[in-house]
Amino acid sequence: MLAKRIIPCLDVKDGRVVKGVSFVNLRDAGDPVEVAKVYDEQGADELVFLDITASHEKRKTIIDVVSRTAEQVFMPLTVGGGIKTLEDIRNLLKAGCDKVSINTTAVENPEFIKEASERFGSQCIVVAIDAKRAKGQGSGVKGQEYLQAPMWEVYTHGGRKPTGIDAVKWARKMEEYGAGEILLTSMDRDGTKDGYDIELTKAVSEAVTIPVIASGGAGNLEHLYDGLTKGKADAVLAASIFHYKEYTIREAKEYLRKKGVVVRL
Amino acid sequence: MIAIIDYGVGNLRSVQKAFEKVGHNAIVTSNPKEIENAKAVVLPGVGAFAKCIGNLNEYGLVDVIYKTIKAGKPFLGICLGMQLLFTEGEEFGIHKGLDIIKGRVVRFPATSSNNGPLKVPHMGWNNLIIKKDAPILSDIRNNPFVYFVHSYYCVPEDSSVMAAVTDYGLQFTSTIWKENIYATQFHPEKSQEIGLKILKRFGELS
């Protein structure tokens, strides 16, 4: 049986992990390779590096991070953030990256996803969708009535720019254009630790026939379970619950297995 | 020295690093002479079937693949590198493969055998159900998880070449063994310790 995947995500800026990772026995909590090794030992199924480097000149550093990680960690690596050209993708793949996650560039130029998937194969093209509930439309806020079916709007530029695009329709379009996977982040839930937006996750998972990774809001192990079962996600991505050693990946998987979810242990 | 065939597609560094990790020297090369002189040869690959076959021709690497196999050297196809060994593939139209293993490469159905929707690509960790004691699997026990990412799978005409199968909607061939030819639909270089064990064994065959 295909196992549900648990994917830790590392924010990398100028070649260093930011947002803080606190493991015991870690020589250097800022070195992505060191952190990747810990997650590898804990049994992570994949690793996502989110490159939040602002300046273009420093973009090369993520290539170096990937190639140093790929020398020591033998599991799938995904890089997201700032990917604009086919050359960017080629350089990352050559360095040892397996998949790239594309958000803003996909919205600005959907044809790019077509070109990229034809050139490199759908399996390595992940489309990242940052989605936010449109106001007054089933916003999920306590006390506020659902005016109509929930609708989520796609945002770009790291969540700063609304696009007016419906997230569920967008996911479907990206699948048509050759995306091999959707990385779906709820902006309403991101950082809240209130759990994934289950309605959003389920709506997108059911709308497409490619795998969906739920992201944004995981605060405990039950949230992971809900994302995979009620949300019908194929994988769950989390950052802080693993970084601050609230749970190890292994603990998360043992919990899920006990509840009947197929995981790789 | 193990030669990893470079024909302009995919992530070859990971394959090379994985071999080095388990103590086997490996080079990434598109030079037919170097490939011919290697003690064992690996054909990796990701992307589309037609493009990969096109590239192998363009790079002038088809002959050296046949030569290697004829010479009895250990040969390993990984993922698309496994699919290319077959007679034909149906990705973006019917395309001729290398025809080293008789059979076809077909797309996963949209629904599984119990009529549930099947997500394609088959992406992630799934079990290897071992059917035959292939030398590269000799250290592997208990149907371990290995890492897959593919939308098409191989259907060999002769089921005796199937060394392992995997369940995804249906049961498909995930490892091939025929004389000196080995092939895995999964990525051993991305399958942590299990994958490294397989690559270690492969390197020891020559």
Helix ranges restricted to H, chain A: 32-42, 60-70, 86-95, 104-108, 111-120, 167-176, 198-207, 221-229, 240-243, 249-258
Is the model's pLDDT at A234 over the cut of 90? yes
For testing contact with chain B, the best of A2, A39, A249 (most B CBs within 10 A): A2
Q: Quick one: B176 exposed, middle or buried, by C-beta within 10 A (0-12, 13-18, 19+)?
A: buried
More confident residue, A20 or B96: B96
Test A96 with B11 for CB contact under 8 angstroms: yes
Q: Which residue has the higher pLDDT, A134 or A168?
A: A168
Q: Does the pLDDT at position A22 exceed 70? A: no
Chain A residues with beta carbon closer than 8 angstroms to that of B89: none
Give the number of beta-carbon pairs within 8 Å between A and B: 95
pLDDT value, residue A4: 98
Residues of A annotated as catalytic are 11, 130
Average pLDDT score over residue span A11-30? 74
Tokens read off for B76: 């390993």
Enter the pTM of the model.
0.93
CA distance B196 to B206: 17
What is the band of A118 on the pLDDT scale with cuts at 50, 70, 90? confident
Secondary structure element (H or E) that encloses residue B198, with its range: helix B192-204
Question: Per the CB < 8 Å rule, is B190 touching A74?
Answer: yes
Range B34-62 average pLDDT: 92
Q: Which of A146-155, A230-239, B33-42 has the least mean pLDDT? A: A146-155
Q: Which residues of A touch B150 (CB under 8 A)?
A: 123
Q: What is the ipTM of this complex?
A: 0.91
Nearest CA in chain B to A121: B47
- Report how far apart, in Å, the C-alpha atoms of B71 and of each of B39, B83, B184, B200, B206 are: 10, 21, 21, 21, 12
Phi, psi (degrees; rounded to nearest 5) at B53: -65, -40
Instruction: Specify the range with the lowest mean pLDDT, choosing from A226-240, B2-16, B117-131.
Output: B2-16
CA distance B71 to chain A (A): 31
State the average pLDDT over residues B3-18: 87
| Facing residue for B126 by CB, picked from A2, A71, A122 | A2
pLDDT at position B185 over 50: yes
Cα Rg, chain B, nearest whole Å: 16
Interface residues of B toward A, Cβ cutoff 8 Å, are 9-11, 13-14, 17-18, 21, 46-48, 110, 117-127, 145, 147, 149-151, 167-168, 187, 189-192, 195-196
Closest CA to B9 of B65, B51, B58: B51
Distance from CA of B145 to the nearest CA of A (A): 7
- The reported pLDDT for the residue numbered A147 is 47
Taking an 8 Å cut-off on Cβ atoms, the answer to whether A93 and B11 are in contact is yes
CB contact under 8 A, B123 and A98: no
> Residue A158's pLDDT is what?
85
Nearest to A114 by CA among A125, A128, A103: A125
CB contact under 8 A, B47 and A120: yes
Which band of pLDDT confidence, cut at 50, 70 and 90, is reported for residue A145? very low
Chain B positions in Cβ-Cβ contact with residue A96 (cut-off 8 Å): 11, 13-14, 17
Looking at every residue in chain A, the average pLDDT score rounds to: 89
Cβ <8 Å between B147 and A76: yes
Q: Which residue has the higher pLDDT, A137 or A68?
A: A68
Name the more confident of B119 and A121.
Answer: B119
Task: Give tens-digit pLDDT for A247-258.
Answer: 999 999 999 999
